[in-house]
A and B are shown apart, each in its own frame.
Chain A
Amino acid sequence: MREIKYVDAGVEAIQEEMRRDPSVIYMGQGIGPREGNYKQSRGLWKEFGEHRVRDTPISELGQVGLGVGAAMAGARPIVDIVFLDMIMEAMGQVVEQAATIHYISNGQIKVPIVIRAAMGTVRSTGPHHSRCFYSWFAHIPGLKVVLPASPEDVKGFMKTAIRDDGPVMFIEHKFFYNKKGPVPEGEYTIPFGKARVLRPGSDVTLVAMSLMVGKAIEAAEILSKEGVEVEVIDPRTIVPLDRETILASVKKTGRLVIADEAQAFCGFSAEIAAIVSEQALEFLNAPIQRVCALHTPHPFNGVLEAAMLPSVAGVVEAVRKSIRG
């Protein structure tokens, strides 16, 4: 299969959807002639023009607010926030408007908006360019939340997100943008709510998303040499969540470790732990382990940043702890 970059898989998806459907528009800061901070809109302004690919001022609230209004009136906007951190400036539009209108209008008004942003730490990206807020959106009824961890997922999920009739938070990871991976030729979509088992294993279930997927695989390879076979599961979409795949794995392995680049407290890892406690407690042979960021803002200093973030070594240690019971 051909290999393309994560960032280019997103471009391809948007390009195909914009060719297919004239109501799809794309707006964001610097996504016009500049083609985006990460070249995430390469070629789109040239092909579709400034009527459909719109550079915005630094107005996150306005971008999302206009996107919601446009979606209510029949357009399918993709709003690019670039850095997920900046979505905080637009939270009211996301939560009170985008997420709420379909329900409160008694299903009469659809809000097909994709809000695209990249999260996570690369190297000293600091407190305002590193955050992993995704569980906040999952907490809000009405939002779908997608975290693609491969170029193949970026393309298939972006196309599904654009075609979805409701608001979708499409959260990429900055670290992945220039990484290549296999992507099928031609058009395809991937349905939301289907986890992927990246590595089968019989001893421990390890749930990881986004950047932590790669770290989980690395940890699993180290542990395999010790004779511990880890089953790595990437839920891929938090809303809707594929509970069944996670529960089936835990019932098989009897052990659960969750690796999350966000903080543990009230986070996604807590939700997975709660679901397994509620629905598969009797299958657990050891306490659930969580490997997450420490409860601090993101420090700039590299040593402190590394100390704050979950690591491969941390995942390995958590799995060993789970095995020891």
Chain B
Amino acid sequence: MALSESLVLGLYRSMVRIRLFELKVQEVYRSGVMPGFIHLYVGEEAVAAGVCESLSQYDYVTSTHRGHGHAIAKGIPMGPAFAEIWGKPNGCNGGRGGSMHIYDPAFGFLGTNGIVGASVPLGAGAALAAQVKGSKQVAVSFFGDGAVNNCAFHEGVNLAAIWNLPVVFVCENNLYATETPFAKVTRNTDVASRGAAYGIPGTSVDGNDVIAVYQAAGQAIDVARSGGGPTLIECRTYRPLGHFEGDPGIGYRTKEEIAEWKKRDPINVLRERILADRLATAEILDGIWSDVEVEVEAAYQYAKSGPDADPSSVMDFVYSD
């Protein structure tokens, strides 16, 4: 497949936006002003960027506890996303959710989620609504390796398979569920092979190669949109940081392993390919980086300027009437 300049630069920008957003969130969190638990998406950017490139604003995404990248890649503006993670009323859902409960229906974003596995049936359900409406929308359900031994994965994928729902299941296999190695709790570590158990295609790609993710996801999204049913895509990637902000991320894995994966940083992998194939110049790539720095700083200022909540709003929205 011939890669266009606009495609590779779009993917590059998408990954850089996630990376710099996350590094700013990390900085603010470490300064002590940001409450709650956060799980950063650094190192896994190729998955969210590569998948969401083929989605429209009206397609659906369900996400995980490590979901800032999905939110940004799906199009939620950085300012309201940053403010949400900060718990501010100017967040995209009023600061009522925070990092693990980011929602924005205007962008089809049906939530990051504090419950591992929950994104699977919810994503399939959004696809069910699309099928019933005949709307041609597609849903993408992101989840980690930690979700695939959970009942929610099994039941959600099976129901999507029997009903031929327009959904793509994207497993971000980063090899560890918190600190537990996937191989230690799973005899068949080939997640893609599980597609066969449900009678749907399963494919495994290098999750640090955004082009590979883009191609596999784009094809699966096309199949789903044209009525061909669900696909399971396993993206093999890695979390160079700890599980949550504050976890040093070592002790349960070796420094050598982390260093090895850092050599395959998804942004660098794409940058090297762009330069090697002469798809764009270093100046252009550096320019994207500078643009995004400005965007992230503005998002931070937006979030920082948000007032705190009005306590009289605490009972709002418990019920829908």
Residues of chain A touching chain B, judged by Cβ–Cβ distance below 8 Å, are 22-23, 25, 51-52, 54, 56-57, 59, 61-75, 77, 92-93, 96-97, 101-112, 141-142, 144, 164-166
Contacts and interface: CB of A to CB of B under 8 A. Distances in A.
Interface in B115-147: 115, 118, 120-130, 132-133, 137, 139
B318 interface: yes
B317 A106 contact: yes
B93 interface: yes
Given A70-B128, A106-B317, 14 more contacts: A52-B132, A54-B163, A62-B152, A65-B122, A66-B125, A69-B62, A69-B129, A71-B129, A73-B137, A75-B133, A92-B118, A97-B118, A110-B320, A142-B319
Given A57-B162, A62-B158, A108-B93, A75 B319 contact: no
B27 interface: no
A70 B132 contact: yes
B156 interface: yes
A69 B129 CA distance: 8
Interface stretch (B36-44, B47-55, B102-110): B102-110
Contacts of B103: 101, 104-106, 108-109
A103 B103 CA distance: 11
B28 interface: no
A70 B114 contact: no
Interface string B202-215: 00000000000000
A65 B93 contact: no
Nearest to B60: A73
A54 B164 CA distance: 13
A68 B155 contact: no
A144 B318 CA distance: 11
Contacts of A93: 118, 121
Contacts of A72: 105, 110, 122, 125-126, 129
Contact of A66 (B128, B318, B321): B128
20 contacts: A57-B159, A61-B155, A62-B124, A64-B121, A65-B124, A65-B152, A66-B124, A69-B62, A69-B124, A69-B125, A69-B128, A69-B129, A70-B129, A72-B122, A73-B130, A75-B133, A77-B128, A104-B103, A112-B320, A164-B321
Contacts of A103: 96, 316-318
A109 B139 CA distance: 16
Interface in B34-92: 60, 62
B299 to A, nearest CB: 19
A102 B317 contact: yes
B55 to A, nearest CB: 14
Interface string B259-303: 000000000000000000000000000000000000000000000
Given A57-B159, A66-B159, A97-B118, A102 B124 contact: no
Contacts of A74: 129, 133
B159 A59 contact: yes
Contacts of B316: 103, 107
A61 B132 contact: no
B156 A65 contact: yes
Given A62-B155, A70-B132, A166 B121 contact: no
A61 B93 contact: no
Contacts of A110: 320
B125 A96 contact: no
A291 B260 CA distance: 67
Contacts of A75: 128-129, 132-133
A90 to B, nearest CB: 9
Contact of B126 (A25, A70, A105): A70
B97 interface: yes
B7 interface: no
Q: 8 tightest CB-CB pairs across the interface, nearest first?
A: A69-B125, A65-B121, A62-B155, A106-B94, A73-B129, A66-B125, A166-B320, A165-B320
Contacts of A106: 93-94, 96-97, 103, 317
